Amino acid sequence: MTTNLSVNINKVATLRNARGENVPDVSRVAVDCESFGADGITVHPRPDERHIRRDDVFSLRPLVKTEFNIEGYPSPDFMDLVLKVKPEQVTLVPDAPDDLTSSAGWEVEPHMEFLTGIIDTLREAGIRSSIFVGTDCENIRLAAKTGADRVELYTKPYADAFARDPEAAVAPYVEASRAARKAGLGVNAGHDLNLDNLRYFKEHVPFLNEVSIGHALISDALYLGLPETIRRYKAALK
């Protein structure tokens, strides 16, 4: 099946914010990523706006013509934002406000009522929902019971183990993806996927709808240029 590439542009905003001006232009980069072949744009606005800002999200909404995916912890402020912007997809992550980056998926059972309410709200607004999770199959089955449309598999453990033993590294994700499919969920993946490990992941993990990649892709673009970088990531997903 086709696996879409959503480019996370948070790091572009981090670079821009370092000077307090508008270079690089986050909106221009998003439009260019689409023109170079990206299937979607991902942003993860955090409360301190250390990279993507609320006004970026509003600016991007009319510009993104593929799929707009907004990640974040579903606080009242976050939900207010996404319900106003109405992206194609919202990915729910359990980040604390001061987390440097996402470092774990949801434990669904203790948050079942909370997540179910959030997902009901997103569905009523016509927004596809995805829950960020690890590879525990029972946890994934519980995610399906919230009414979510998809799960996003947290792939840092795969990336960390890939060089030592690719087969062992990918095995939990194969089973997790199969469990998600059986439960009626779509499957996304993201975190530390890169040009070294992406093709192997795609070749072995079934039912993979989408990967969201930011840090590695933007870093590669410093050397390869953005058009060539996106071309290579797309090639790894074929």
* Ramachandran quadrant class, 160 (left: phi over 0; alpha: psi -120 to 50; beta: rest): alpha
Is the separation of the CB atoms in 148 and 188 below 8 Å? Answer: no
Buried residues in 30-54 as b, exposed as e (16+ CB within 10 A): bbbbbebebbbbbbbbbeeeebbbb
Cα–Cα distance measured from residue 197 to residue 160, given in angstroms and rounded to the nearest whole number: 10
Cα–Cα distance measured from residue 87 to residue 78, given in angstroms and rounded to the nearest whole number: 12
Is the separation of the CB atoms in 54 and 61 below 8 Å? Answer: no
Candidates 34, 51, 67, 71; catalytic one: 71
Q: Is the peptide bond before 74 cis (omega within 30 degrees of 0)?
A: no
Candidates 34, 152, 191, 210; catalytic one: 191
Is the separation of the CB atoms in 133 and 140 below 8 Å? Answer: yes
Cα–Cα distance measured from residue 55 to residue 77, given in angstroms and rounded to the nearest whole number: 13
The verdict on whether 124 is a catalytic residue reads no
The verdict on whether 191 is a catalytic residue reads yes
The verdict on whether 204 is a catalytic residue reads no
Candidates 34, 44, 67, 152; catalytic one: 44
Query: How many other CB atoms are there within 10 angstroms of residue 59's CB atom?
Result: 15
Catalytic residue list? 44, 71, 191
